[in-house]
């Protein structure tokens, strides 16, 4: 007998692109719990939201300032497809903090480059 494909299974597997193991890890649940969701038990709203955020569906819902940005497999993706890793964000922030009082010209250059990248 063929198993029926539930909405939850379709959502997890095809819309979010997550395996059972990855979903369990992301939501701090067991693979067995994810299997139950795939069988039709409701996915808790917080887990559904995490899955959407992982796929990049809902970042704009956090704030209108994120229009055109998304998360994709742990990276922040700018408009135009430029990927930014957490390490790059921390490095940029650290550079700004190090020169906050002395290095205004460097900050201007960093912002100029950031604006150019934003166009892409």
Residue 52 contacts residue 72 (beta carbons within 8 Å): no
CA 73 to chain centre: 6
Question: Nearest CA to 118 among 67, 71, 72, 61?
Answer: 67
Write the DSSP assignment of 45-89 as a string of letters: HHHHHHHHHHHTSSGGGT-GGGTT-EEETTEEE-TTS-EE-HHHH
Non-local CB neighbours of 6 within 8 Å, separated by 6+ positions: 38, 39, 40
Residue 51 contacts residue 11 (beta carbons within 8 Å): yes
User: Is 103 in a helix, a strand, or coil?
Assistant: coil
pTM of the model: 0.52
In the chain the domains, ranked by start, together with CATH numbers, are 7-77 (1.10.260), 85-119 (no CATH)
Q: What is the pLDDT of residues 11-23, one digit of tens each?
A: 999 988 899 999 9
Q: What is the pLDDT of residues 27-82, one digit of tens each?
A: 999 999 999 999 999 999 999 988 887 776 556 666 777 777 877 767 788 878 88
Q: What is the pLDDT of residues 83-120, one digit of tens each?
A: 888 778 888 877 777 765 556 677 777 777 777 777 66
d(CA 115, CA 30): 43
d(CA 42, CA 32): 14
């Amino acid at each position: 007998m063929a198993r029926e494909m539930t909405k939850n299974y379709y959502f997890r597997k095809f819309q979010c692109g997550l395996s059972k193991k990855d979903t369990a890890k992301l939501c701090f649940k067991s693979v067995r719990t994810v299997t139950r969701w795939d069988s039709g038990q409701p996915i808790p709203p917080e887990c559904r939201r995490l899955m959407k955020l992982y796929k990049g569906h809902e970042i704009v819902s956090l704030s209108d300032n994120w229009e055109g940005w998304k998360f994709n497999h742990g990276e922040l993706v700018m408009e135009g497809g430029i990927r930014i890793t957490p390490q790059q964000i921390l490095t940029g922030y650290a550079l700004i903090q190090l020169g906050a009082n002395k290095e205004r010209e460097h900050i201007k250059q960093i912002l100029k480059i950031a604006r150019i990248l934003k166009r892409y």
